[in-house]
Structure 1
């Protein structure tokens, strides 16, 4: 049943479009968009800036789908509503039910391992990219304490592995297409982290679904 639920979430993430999706997406991209606006002069005269901005929003869209539509992170409003943190934490490795759950968690984070080095040269080091995937997954698992969902070390492990697999796909892609990522530009070394973790904070602090229902 858990496997079927996760498969459904993966499919519905790309199919659902309603007022809650629009609201949550705005909450996610708002911090990164504000940061990009404040730093607009840093890329105003650089070549490929328009291409870079397009890739930024593709990256944020992926992060939003993974964080909100698939993983379903909790918010401060969930915590206020429930009045307590969830105590369901699984720290026993490989104790989750269903092999498909592991595979889906790997697949969910593969785009992160591919997009980071594609868009930002700084992330063409595997260690930095995998660490970012680990921190993203950890943020998701910790936020799920707010919404009474299971916080699972297996999810953290498989998500991190998925990032590494995605980075391997980038290496293979770069071998086939040596010029891939050659038009990458730099705004700030913290840029991808702002878009990712700023988006997570945007959901946690700003997304209160009860406004519409």
Structure 2
């Protein structure tokens, strides 16, 4: 990757991180829970049952108790918001160009963000969000690994 490309990618990554920080911590979520103790907040705002929230969104959408936009925004949004991570991290950090190293780093990043949301009472910990975020990050890595992106960043396969 040329110096100019690295600068462009770095600026883009910083902008993306600022967006994620706002999206995950400062987006208006109402004041529900702010009068709870931290333990109560964690108990009320955590889901550790895989596919429970996803299933609830799909069921509510099918029953007509939730509009399509809300279901799409919550499910697809959690995937789409992390696709850029799969492009930025391996482009900027050579050690994250192997899928296993990248996924391990991403798992640590997203777990840290999810736990921080709970501890700061700025969101929830939902295993379904984690699954959808991981799917988005994996898709982003697959995009990064395409020949078009590899050509743009000047990477050689097999090196």
- What interval of TM-score do these two structures reach, taking the shorter chain for normalisation? 0.5 to 0.7
Cross-structure match for 1:91: 48
Cross-structure match for 1:56: 10
Normalised TM-score (structure 2): 0.67
CA separation of 1:92 and 1:83: change in aligned 2, threshold 3 A: closer
Offset of 1:107 from its aligned partner? 0.5
Indicate whether 1:70 and 2:23 are aligned.
yes
- Structure 1's unaligned 5+ residue stretches are 1-46, 75-80, 184-213
Cross-structure match for 1:144: 117
SS of residue matched to 2:82:
helix
SS of residue matched to 1:147:
coil
Check the 8 A contact 2:13/2:88 in 1, yes or no. yes
Cross-structure match for 1:164: 138
Check the 8 A contact 2:48/2:127 in 1, yes or no. yes
* Partners of 1:62 and 1:143 in 2: CA distance: 18
Offset of 1:178 from its aligned partner? 4.6
- Structure 2's unaligned 5+ residue stretches are 28-33, 58-70
Instruction: Report the number of matched residues.
Output: 128
Q: Deviations over 1:105-140 (max 9, x none)?
A: 111100000112223332211112222222222122
Offset of 1:48 from its aligned partner? 4.1
SS of residue matched to 2:25:
coil
Cross-structure match for 1:154: 128
Q: Deviations over 1:76-124 (max 9, x none)?
A: xxxxx86842222110111113252222111110000011222333221
Q: Deviations over 1:34-83 (max 9, x none)?
A: xxxxxxxxxxxxx94454233222112102212x2222269xxxxxx868
5 Å matches for 1:23-62? Answer: 48-62=2-16
Root-mean-square deviation over aligned CA pairs? 2.7
Offset of 1:152 from its aligned partner? 0.7
